[in-house]
């Protein structure tokens, strides 16, 4: 409370002896935390007072416990300010908005909510043909680190910018940075894009908005996040948030705890460093007639590669003009939300996917079925069965989850009844669909046998269902 710097003190977790390194008595590592009662009300009131908050927000979300090694918490003030602006954080301390990646190479200022003046001020002075940008309907080439965020994303980042401004002014005592009151005020601001399971954030810049539930960006930008360029879901955070609130100290100390966090930032994107597949984009406005002739002969893609210039050819130069064969009138006149997101359950998604496969002549439905079976359904069945047999139990009364089933058969804390956390219905969820798929598409014996083995294992684990219940099972004929 005096504002001075603090020093980390460690002590033995067993006997309490203070000191760095290893405890002389117990020969175990000392730690920077210990159990002690604290006056939470006083801490909260002091924090609220410090940032000039007249009233503590009704609901302030916290965590049950700290997972990082030194059990370092964030300043309470940050949590209070976030609760006031109704934004929540990720385990690393940053505020994120997740959206599906979609690629974009050209845009009209008008269709993304960018005025001509603003376009000029952020560097768009010429259109894609090099003519001066004078009308909001001229097509411009999207710069490699520029992106469009969804309306919902814009509203969320707007709230995040308010939180950051409040944090700067009331906690750090310096000037507000964003001062954004509407989404257009976010144009030109820098963000950090991050893919799941990676730890390098890529800096990008907001240049406009889309009604679609996606993040439109240059294929290079999505590729720089180390992903296939389409369909995956990545997150976007405001750069200032990452710089101010991210800390490696907050990250869980267990294995894998450092994933999904911007441990490194990549401020400038170098096209020669991204995955080569991102360069497989044709750059021409017209495909030559030879190309169409080759398609009739069913030529291998490598045979026609030389007929169509791709970005691979531009590598090494500064010239990244990408042309297109079919123009569109308005970005937002297409489908705005992926049906993959709209379909509620995995079964619905599978059903629709197979129906599409059945309808499209160029698609081999049996191949699709094999892919879905081998990458999702069979794995899920096996995984769920394993989870079932090694599941933890939960006390119905106090909610405690003992690590192993107690021999007494009741909760060791309160004597309450113990119940399972994984159920048979969850394990067998995909069984009927899998069976139907294997039969309907005459799938090769390998998968047939794998499914039979799984069924055998299930039959050994569960008692057979009573007759009338068995009849209520779903048939895939309802699905495909």
Give min distance, CB of 33 to Zn ion, in A: 14
Q: Which of 23, 128, 238, 365 binds Zn ion (CB under 5 A)?
A: 23
Nearer to Zn ion, 15 or 40 (CB): 15
User: With CB under 5 A as the contact rule, which of the stretches 24-32, 135-143, 235-243, 422-430 interacts with Zn ion?
Assistant: 24-32
Q: Kindly identify the residues of this chain, within the stretch 159-198, that bind Zn ion according to CB under 5 A.
A: none
User: Which of the residues 338 through 397 are near Zn ion (CB under 5 A)?
Assistant: 395, 397
Task: List Cα–Cα distances, 179 to 186, 308, 467, 469, in angstroms.
Answer: 9, 48, 66, 61
Question: Rounded to the nearest whole angstrom, what is the least distance from the CB of residue 70 to Zn ion in the complex?
Answer: 18
CB atoms within 10 A of CB 459: 10
- Nearer of residues 398 and 465 to Zn ion, judged by Cβ: 398
* 194 closest CA partner among 251, 154, 234, 248: 234
Q: Phi, psi at residue 402, to the nearest 5°?
A: -65, 150
Question: How far apart (Å, rounded) are the C-alpha atoms in residues 369 and 465?
Answer: 27
Token pair for residue 445?
A: 């014996």
* Smallest separation (angstroms) from Zn ion to the CB of 411: 3
Nearest to 448 by CA among 458, 434, 462, 460: 434
Alpha helices for 199-321 (secondary structure H): 219-224, 239-245, 289-296, 301-304, 311-314
CB of 100 within 8 A of CB of 119?
Answer: no
Which lies closer to Zn ion via its Cβ, residue 35 or residue 306?
35
CA distance 341 to 356: 16
Which of the residues 397 through 426 are near Zn ion (CB under 5 A)?
397-398, 400, 411, 413-414, 416
When asked if residue 87 is in the footprint of Zn ion (CB under 5 A), the reply is no
Q: Which residue, 188 or 416, has its beta carbon nearer to Zn ion?
A: 416
The answer to whether the CB of 191 falls within 8 A of the CB of 204 is yes
Nearer to Zn ion, 414 or 459 (CB): 414
Indicate the residue among 298 and 409 with the shorter CB distance to Zn ion.
409
Selected from 15, 363, 453, 475, the binder of Zn ion by CB under 5 A is 15
Q: Which stretch binds Zn ion (CB under 5 A): 4-12, 45-53, 129-137, 200-208?
A: 4-12
How many Å apart are CA 67 and CA 251, to the nearest integer?
Answer: 7
C-alpha–C-alpha distance, residues 59 and 149, integer Å: 29
d(CA 13, CA 5): 24
Q: How many residues bind Zn ion (CB under 5 A)?
A: 15
Which residue of 9, 14, 371, 444 would you call a contact of Zn ion, by CB under 5 A?
Answer: 14
Residue with tokens 């049996």: 366
Look-up of token digits 């390194």: 21
Q: Output the smallest distance, CB 388 to Zn ion, in A.
A: 22
Pairing of strands 264-266, 233-238: unpaired
Binds Zn ion by CB under 5 A, chosen from 18, 22, 25, 439: 25
CB 188 within 8 A of CB 207: yes
CB of 56 to Zn ion, least distance (A): 31
Nearer to Zn ion among residue 14 and residue 335 (C-beta): 14
Which one, 314 or 400, has the nearer CB to Zn ion? 400
Helix pair 431-440, 378-389: axis angle to 10 deg: 150
For Zn ion, the closer CB: 386 or 413: 413
The CB-of-474 to Zn ion minimum distance in angstroms stands at 36
Work out which of 10, 26, 185, 351 binds Zn ion, going by CB under 5 A: 26
Least Å distance, CB 196 to Zn ion, is 35
Interaction site with Zn ion (CB under 5 A) = 12, 14-15, 17, 23, 25-26, 395, 397-398, 400, 411, 413-414, 416
């Amino acid at each position: 409370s005096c504002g001075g710097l603090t020093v980390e003190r460690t002590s033995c977790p067993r006997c309490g002896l203070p000191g760095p390194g290893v405890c002389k008595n117990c020969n175990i590592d000392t730690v920077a935390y210990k159990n002690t009662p604290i006056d939470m009300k006083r801490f909260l009131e002091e924090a609220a007072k410090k940032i000039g908050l007249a009233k503590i927000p009704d609901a302030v979300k916290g965590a049950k416990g700290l997972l990082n090694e030194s059990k370092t918490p964030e300043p309470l003030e940050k949590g209070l300010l976030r609760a006031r602006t109704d934004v929540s954080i990720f385990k690393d301390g940053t505020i994120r908005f997740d959206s599906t990646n979609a690629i974009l190479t050209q845009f009209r200022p008008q269709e993304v909510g960018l005025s001509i003046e603003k376009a000029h001020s952020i560097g768009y002075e010429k259109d894609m043909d090099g003519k001066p940008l004078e009308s909001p309907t001229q097509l411009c080439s999207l710069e490699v680190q520029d992106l469009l965020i969804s309306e919902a994303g814009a509203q969320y980042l707007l709230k995040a910018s308010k939180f950051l401004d409040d944090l700067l002014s009331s906690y750090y005592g310096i000037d507000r940075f964003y001062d954004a009151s509407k989404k257009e005020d976010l144009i030109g601001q820098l963000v950090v894009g991050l893919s799941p399971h990676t730890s390098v954030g890529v800096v990008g810049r907001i240049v406009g908005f889309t009604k679609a539930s996606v993040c439109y960006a240059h294929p290079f930008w999505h590729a720089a996040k180390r992903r296939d360029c389409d369909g995956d879901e990545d997150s976007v955070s405001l750069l200032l948030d990452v710089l101010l609130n991210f800390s490696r100290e907050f990250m869980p100390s267990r294995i894998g705890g450092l994933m999904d966090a911007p441990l490194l930032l990549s401020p400038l994107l170098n096209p020669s460093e991204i995955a080569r597949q991102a360069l497989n984009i044709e750059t021409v406005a017209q495909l030559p007639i030879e190309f169409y002739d080759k398609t009739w002969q069913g030529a291998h893609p490598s045979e026609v590669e030389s007929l169509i210039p791709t970005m691979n050819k531009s590598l090494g130069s500064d010239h990244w003009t990408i042309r297109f064969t079919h123009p569109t009138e308005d970005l937002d006149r297409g489908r705005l939300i992926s049906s993959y997101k709209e379909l509620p359950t995995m079964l619905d998604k599978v059903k629709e996917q197979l129906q599409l496969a059945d309808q499209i002549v160029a698609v081999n439905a049996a191949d699709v079925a094999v892919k879905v079976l081998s990458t999702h359904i069979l794995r899920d069945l096996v995984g769920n069965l394993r989870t079932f047999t090694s599941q933890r139990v939960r006390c119905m009364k106090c909610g405690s989850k003992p690590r192993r089933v107690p021999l007494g058969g009741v909760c060791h804390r309160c004597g309450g009844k113990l119940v399972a956390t994984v159920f048979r219905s969850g394990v067998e969820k995909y069984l009927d669909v899998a069976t139907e798929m294997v039969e309907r598409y005459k799938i090769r014996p390998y998968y047939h046998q794998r499914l039979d083995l799984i069924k055998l294992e299930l039959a050994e684990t569960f008692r057979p269902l009573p007759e009338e219940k068995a009849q209520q099972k779903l048939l895939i004929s309802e699905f495909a």
